[in-house]
Chains A and B, each alone.
Chain A
Amino acid sequence: MNSNLKWKAVFIVIVILICLIGLVGRPDFPPKSWAGIKSNFGQVIKLGLDLQGGTHLILQVQVQEAVSQETDQVLDNITKQFRDKTIRYDELRKLGDTQILIHNIATEMAGAARNIISDQFPDWDISPAPGEPSGYILTMKPSHIADIQQRTMDQAEETIRRRIDALGLTEPLVAPYGQGDNEIIVELPGEGDPNRAKGVIQAGGQLELHLVLDGTPYPSETAARAAHGGVLPPNSQLVQGKATASTAGQPSAESWYVVDRVPVVTGRDLRSATALRSTKNIGFYDVDFVLSTEAGRRFGPFTEQNIGKQLGIVLEHRLQTAPTINGRIEDTGVIEGQFGEQEANDLGLVLRSGALPASIKYLEERTVGPSLGADSIRHGVQASIVSLVVVMIFMVVYYRLSGVNAVVALILNLIILLAALAYFGAVLTLPGIAGVILTIGMGVDSNVLIFERIREELRASKAPVSAVDMGFKRAFLTIIDTHVTTVVSALFLGLFGTGPVRGFAITLVIGLLANLFTSVYVSRVIFDWHLADMPREAELSI
């Protein structure tokens, strides 16, 4: 026998071994029992959400809010700078999310104003306001807008990931999604009820502690302003109190507080936040927090200076409680709100993970229950086995021994396909299983092409060896052509689709590529091996 042929056979055996190791040899090598094999296999083949059950969420980060916030801060900053340098103007206000209007600057100060802008705010362009001789419009540079948007996306993704991780779910996925529309995909395998996760993801998480200026809350915004003669005192702001549940017959009461504008401590200064049983409200939970040392150095003197006044604990822009400061507090505090155990735990989790830089909107939600996942696996596997058996029986009956050749090639094709999925960490979905079944049907096409050619050559009275040779040669181009078209359309699908559709495309592409190897190379080697052993005058069993 040809030594070349022997090497080819060895090569094929090596490929088989690599595949088997990939499928059942990891992570425990070597597997010691049938249960070990099953366990290894279960771990390397990753199942999609539609097979193991779970939740898939697409959410969108409202990055415009972050851009708008930046404009607010710049506006504040400019106001302060102009005041320091005594630059007079009529009006300074925000014009949309990315623009600021300065109205009627005194002409002799215009130069100084422009210098301040170009020195201190290089990310903004200044240009004369149309139709106004002494007005200017500041516009945020597009590069800076893009910068803020990207930073907001990254921070949002980070924060969401931290929160999901803290929930302790199995192998969640948090990743950017789609083409540039600020979308994030979250996948929670095994999670049949996503409400808690969704709540945790979406929670704003902004915590601020403000000094309360007026001892009593007001029933409405207008009442609060009226108490101060129509204009709030400088450096103060209004904060709404926590929404109280409405009792029968009465609408929920509003309460408004006048607080210091700048918070003494924010969520960023927290070192930890834990849920503990409440000592004041028996049966409920509180969230105890500890500040960082640096914040503690601010908080200590602050509390000492303001003994007797109230400290407003503002959570997500709503004032939760306003306890009186009784003495100097270094670095601890408590958020009370009659929370249930899970509520308090979730709040602690959200605070520890940091506030979201912008709010989240859900665009898509799919939940596959675990029982449907199990059903799908069962159906998929059954259909695969039946289709494989049907094809195998047909090939053997129609092509006799050569049919066995085709069956061997087909089985090897499937082994390579599954091993490739395992090595690449690709996810198997239900359409992916359909892709496997399609590979079975289309893969055997290649063998049929070759065998029919061989039969044609044999009919034209060629000897078996040359018939096999011509059969493979003539059919090769056609096999390439047919595989290319299906692979091309599957590639488009893989690029455009997500989740299950992508799983289908990947399985089909890998299956067809593996098919090129098995139906041409492996089948040929088997034929050659058989022909080498065959006596001269014998007929080829095809």
Chain B
Amino acid sequence: MEFFKQIDLDWMGKAKYFFALSITLLVVGGASLIAHHGPYYGVDFKGGTVVYVRFAGAPPVDKIRAGLAQVGLGESVIQPISDISSSNSNEVMIQLEEKGSGSEALDTGKSEILNALHATLGAGEPGKQDFNAAGASAISDALTRKDSLSLGTGAGDRYVQMGNQIVGFRDKNKGGVLTNLNDLSAVGINATSIAALQSAFYTSDFAIINVEIVGPKVGSELRRQAVVVTLYALAGMLVYIAFRFEWVYGAAAVLAVFHDVLITLGLFSIFHFEISLTVIAALLTLVGYSMNDTIVIFDRIRENTRLMRREPFKDIVNRSINQTLSRTILTSGLTFLTVLVLFVMGGQVLRAFSFALVVGILVGTYSSFGIAAPLVVAWNHWRGTGATAVASGPAAGTKLRKA
């Protein structure tokens, strides 16, 4: 099977459409960024407290909101989480801004939120631990201390296994929220053990499944570092490409990648995705990937430049793109399919990350032949050497050309 037998399109002629598309995306994205006063920073960069709570049933959002307002946390953001993969996930995200003084304990916000939740939803008993937050080892410890099966010294692994079993039941069958310890009889936990657990743990209608607290200093530090690392990576690649090809190719590639990142950030703003550390990781990856793509085309241009010395540069570039088109579409298509699977099936934690990759791969692919290559052609034309090919950079094995 073969999709692309003999292609002969005039890519350079169509370049203006790609530029138009890019400008539209940049303008729309830029407008959104300006309207929202910059990108949506996640707690990694903003600082503050985020608590994710999962409920046994539909979350009583209004009740929680009222309860939080009562303890002076009215400015916190409470958002039900609806996810593509699970539309009624019964999850709520509670977010508190960074108070900023830094003198109070880091987890003041979290304790306040938890206290408000317990007060509003009527849970929590002093001296007992939250069952839904307990790990397998805490549960087996409690059982071991009470020796609920009266095994004495012959207990061995028994309580550890029970702990794992109980946690497995709670997390896989009950979505992490066990409202009543008596439900454990369904997996064969006997009454004495259940009583032992009841004396050590309390149950409630909700489980805290994720907490992120970032102090103010750390947040701004990470923001600075993220920018620095991205610039270093771009500089490194610029040098590498300039070394393998020529400066103008390096500049064109870097400009194209910059354009990719800007469009992605704009789309993040439009679709209200948060920028976190993992999103920066995705952005850096797509920088590498977009470079990747651009290099394949530049490689072919260099090869063809040697073979087709008499032809106009524009035609050489067109021919190169046509020759590599099947490879470009195929690999981008395959990588795109895999990240699309990740976006759809990868779960809520990775959603923003995979969105960056999905958008990045699409934009990164067309930026190689739609933006980077036309830029190189335009540069050559402007320099007045449009009739013949530009002297190519060092091919592997020949001596270095001076910069």
Contact = CB atoms under 8 A, between A and B. Distances in A.
B295 A431 contact: no
Contacts of B301: none
Interface in B321-350: 323, 326-327, 330-331, 334-339, 341-342, 345-347, 349-350
Contacts of A456: 323
A29 interface: no
A437 B210 contact: no
Interface stretch (B64-72, B278-286, B304-312): B278-286
A381 to B, nearest CB: 10
Contact of A477 (B134, B226, B396): B396
Nearest to B346: A383
Contacts of A379: 85, 345-347, 349-350
Nearest to B106: A362
Contact of A481 (B176, B214, B244, B336): B244
B335 A370 contact: no
B229 A496 contact: yes
B386 interface: no
B126 to A, nearest CB: 10
A57 to B, nearest CB: 9
A340 B126 CA distance: 12
Contacts of B299: 477-478, 481
Contacts of B52: 372
A41 to B, nearest CB: 17
Interface stretch (B11-19, B165-173, B190-198): B165-173
Nearest to B89: A375
B337 A364 contact: no
A365 B106 contact: yes
Nearest to B343: A383
A182 to B, nearest CB: 12
Nearest to A368: B210
A365 B135 contact: no
A309 B108 CA distance: 42
Contacts of A497: 277, 281
* A interface majority secondary structure: helix
The number of chain A residues touching the other chain, given as a range, is: 35 or more
B285 A391 contact: no
A382 interface: yes
B167 A391 contact: no
A504 B283 CA distance: 12
A312 interface: no
A191 interface: yes
A386 interface: yes
A198 B211 CA distance: 15
Contacts of A106: none
A387 B346 CA distance: 11
B377 interface: no
Contacts of A486: 285, 288-289, 291-292
B136 interface: yes
Given A379-B345, A445-B334, A488-B288, A430 B350 contact: yes
B217 interface: yes
A437 B137 CA distance: 32
Interface in A372-397: 372, 374-376, 378-380, 382-383, 386-387, 390-391, 394, 397
Given A445-B331, A493-B281, A193 B134 contact: yes
A484 B226 CA distance: 21
A382 B347 CA distance: 10
Contact of B357 (A191, A391, A438): A438
B278 A500 contact: yes
Contact of B288 (A362, A478, A489): A489
Contacts of B337: 387, 390-391, 394, 441
Contacts of A372: 52, 176, 209-210, 349
A52 B395 CA distance: 49
A448 B284 contact: no
A486 B106 CA distance: 37
Given A478-B295, A493-B284, A364 B331 contact: no
Given A434-B346, A478-B295, 17 more contacts: A169-B137, A193-B129, A193-B130, A193-B133, A363-B214, A370-B135, A374-B176, A391-B337, A400-B1, A430-B347, A434-B350, A442-B335, A449-B331, A490-B288, A492-B236, A493-B281, A500-B277
Interface of A: 50, 53-54, 58, 169-170, 190-193, 198, 340, 361-372, 374-376, 378-380, 382-383, 386-387, 390-391, 394, 397-398, 400, 430-431, 434, 437-438, 440-442, 444-445, 448-449, 452, 455-456, 477-478, 481-482, 484-490, 492-493, 495-497, 500-501, 504-505, 508
5 contacts: A340-B127, A485-B291, A488-B288, A489-B237, A504-B278
